[in-house]
A and B are shown apart, each in its own frame.
Chain A
């Protein structure tokens, strides 16, 4: 096990370097630069101020060669400096940091809701296959999978606004915007925040139900289930101890992806509901070619994916001895 972990850790180093190079290249790929965004903004207003453009060009060092820009960026990152956002004129770490808490909170809530719903339903659907309940959940699940997040979000917002007269968007209703914290404000927050959580959770729930159901169905047909049943185990104990545990494999191998999703899983939903999370920041940075912000963001997300995958590998090895010993 120790060697297995060590080897995984060593793999990380070249991966991270490759990722940094690719991140940097990706943000350089589109033609033009942040300056073109500034010019486009001015053009939309009908006036292009060339004096200002010249000043900005010099300030941002956009005329330096690519490899110099890359080395500056990666060098700073080694000691925690992710560079500065052109758009916000503020350090990248500060920008992301200030929005991280809400992002993680919403994603975490959505994740818990997903798991709380998906596990029991997935197991139920597999055990009671082709029952009315299975069909009902399957249908809801497929709808959840098929409807894009933004559409679900807009639909919810529409219903809440036109039928229930609820203020949609943001974290607080206007009357509580200025209010000091009290119970009303907490309730108001809850009345606004359930919508993004439901929308973020919906697709994940549906996917997880389907995965659990199909892997569990495979396991249920295997002889060891019959053996256990013949030995007189209660149905519930048998189910949870053997087939469900085996069916967790696909789930565990992807659980690591939760890490990057915690930070940016809610881009579309946050834009629809106007939430101050990290997702829209990333989108805006990409659109405006704000290269240090976008690049550092991609870098952080990639790092989290790598770490998450490591976590998944370890979890799998822990839960399934075959993987542990097969890799010795």
Chain B
């Protein structure tokens, strides 16, 4: 009896003790293993503001970093936030589709050129360089660097870095490709390379034998100026002439030779995956990788403690602690992330008209907004005919302007817009955009009307009046005119639909084409070998960069550039100074002369006059056929409700291949709230 009572009492006490323990476990479960709530992530957004990020202040306290005043240059670059002063903290979540997607890294973190492009004023403004000056004769460009500015490892950034990059890397016969055309006399690829003079540790002078007209635009381009801003103090040890005996280092890095070693350490550019794998490489960007790219399922870049910009209150930028790129394999997976609200700011992979409806529908659920971007293309889908074709019949047909005009008039652009772009596109030739500064009305609008009678007349005049029993037009060789219209797969879904529509529309006027979608690297090697008939590709150079890259208006660069496949032999003639290729007709030669003059002219007004003349000839020659141009908003990005200061988010964000977006909108002043 007593035994049983005792055991009963013990049981009750045990029970109490147990339940007490259980309550304690539950209470502590917020951070324990048995919690089913997400444990708080590190670096939650919305922390307080001071002169530097709290995490950095703590490291200064611990003696790991010098105080913020010593880390900043004497005159930091002051970035005015787009709308409000930010707060420190938060991680910007976005996505990458793999190692081949380095351009998104370049566009988000990588845009820190010597000068930068101001999308609001459409001008070049200082960035890494504190100021710049072009002499009256245009032969000298002086760049003043920021005194006290430092690389991400704390070493000073000086004129020595520029001299090393230019003289010992870019112009080294083994390491570099030589000075690019814009750094040569007259901006010509065969001009004498400019001389880089170090005036003092913070001043360099580029001295040209003849003025190079576009040097400022190029200095505002990130890949181009990266070639001038390599960290000399770190890279000298890997240099084949300056580094001493490299045998041990070559073996250690498993490189094949000293040149390979150098590029394994230095990377060939910001879009190169090596740039994001070598965590030892000093940088000037707002964020830098904490672990090499390619490990696991994500890639993270973290705050650079030596970043050289502040907000107007003197707080060191960037506001955001880090950017985390989820590495996913497929664009559909990126789309899913957008719908789930897992992307704080993203304008790549999925940002076309097809995906827009579903993304807009889920705005509220995903807690994000869709903003419009303006892609500075000159045409959404341009048709290129190989006017240097090896087959004489096709070559003579393609070279006939009447043939191209006829085909242009035979196209029903309203149908293309309706079927492919949900009506959100307008008829347009390959021509600069209205507010690009180079708008040319005739080039943009000629032959865009749908007029079958006129089309037939032009094709008749092109020498294709004869027809066979099936109504197909006969070429000069008496055979029906047929050719392949190809397009690269995986660039834009729209190409396939446009190709099919165009095939049907041209069949109405007796022109037979075979449509072929080609795997994109195969497509490129075919265009590179000039083995193509005709193809569809995006028309490049619609924005302010038209003057730098007028490839849709004058055939100056031979393939592999995919926008240059319309006159490859003339382009070779120009690029080789007349040694190779085929001599072009007079109007094209006149264009080449104008282009040379533009590249050697410093005065912007004069450049514009010359550009207008060049576009006049482009309109006369009508090299390529444009289809339509999507309206602003056909391309877009998503931005989280919690992400602030996206410049011009309410209107539009310029997205150009030359001036990468969102890089040009200053991502360092973005901030997150909870």
Name A residues whose Cβ lies closer than 8 Å to a Cβ of B.
Answer: 30-32, 36-37, 39-56, 58-59, 61, 84, 87-90, 95, 98, 157, 161, 167-171, 174-185, 187, 270-274, 276, 280, 283-284, 287-289
Contact = CB atoms under 8 A, between A and B. Distances in A.
A87 B98 contact: yes
Contacts of B597: none
Contacts of B333: 169-170, 271-274
A52 B524 contact: no
A3 to B, nearest CB: 44
A275 to B, nearest CB: 9
B260 to A, nearest CB: 5
Contacts of B227: 51
Interface string B502-545: 00000000000000000111111110100000000110110000
Contacts of A289: 521
Contacts of A48: 560-562
Interface stretch (B290-298, B309-317, B584-592): B290-298
B225 interface: no
A287 B488 CA distance: 13
Nearest to A47: B657
Interface in B329-358: 329-330, 332-333, 336-337, 339-342
B277 interface: yes
Given A31-B525, A31-B526, A46-B538, 15 more contacts: A39-B521, A39-B524, A40-B521, A45-B103, A47-B549, A47-B658, A50-B177, A51-B177, A157-B336, A182-B39, A184-B38, A273-B333, A274-B329, A274-B330, A280-B330
B340 A40 contact: no
A178 B42 contact: yes
Contacts of A161: 336, 339
Interface residues on chain B, size class: 35 or more
Interface of B: 32-39, 41-42, 93, 98-100, 103, 176-178, 180, 223, 227, 254, 256, 259-260, 263-264, 268-269, 271-274, 277, 294-297, 326-330, 332-333, 336-337, 339-342, 377, 488, 491, 519-526, 528, 537-538, 540-541, 549, 560-563, 657-658
B522 A182 contact: no
Given A45-B657, A276-B296, A55 B268 contact: yes
Contacts of A39: 521, 524, 528, 560
Contacts of B491: 44
A95 to B, nearest CB: 7
A51 B328 CA distance: 30
A183 B328 CA distance: 26
A194 B277 CA distance: 34
A87 B273 contact: yes
Contact of A272 (B332, B340, B523, B528): B332
B658 A46 contact: yes
Interface of chain B, helix or strand or loop or mixed? loop
A206 to B, nearest CB: 25
B38 A176 contact: yes
Contact of B524 (A36, A170, A276, A283): A36
Nearest to A102: B297
B321 to A, nearest CB: 12
B35 A89 contact: no
Contacts of A61: 256
Contacts of A59: 256, 259-260, 263
A323 to B, nearest CB: 43
Contacts of A288: 100, 521
Nearest to B540: A46
A36 B42 CA distance: 42
Contacts of B36: 182-184, 187
A48 B180 CA distance: 13
Contact of A55 (B103, B177, B180, B540): B177
B377 to A, nearest CB: 8
A167 B297 CA distance: 17
A180 B37 CA distance: 11
9 contacts: A31-B526, A40-B520, A43-B561, A56-B268, A89-B274, A168-B336, A174-B93, A283-B329, A284-B98
Nearest to B520: A40
A46 B657 contact: yes
B99 A89 contact: yes
A175 B38 contact: yes
B290 to A, nearest CB: 14
Contacts of A90: 277, 294
Contact of A36 (B297, B522, B540): B522
B176 to A, nearest CB: 7
Given A36-B524, A41-B100, A48-B560, A174 B657 contact: no
Contacts of A187: 36
A272 B330 contact: yes
B100 A37 contact: yes
A179 B37 CA distance: 9
A274 B335 CA distance: 11
7 nearest A-B residue pairs (beta carbon): A46-B657, A51-B177, A178-B41, A184-B36, A274-B333, A32-B525, A280-B329
Contacts of B329: 270-271, 274, 280, 283-284
A123 to B, nearest CB: 39
Nearest to A187: B36
A40 B78 CA distance: 38
B33 A182 contact: yes
B447 to A, nearest CB: 25
Contacts of A56: 268
A87 B336 contact: no
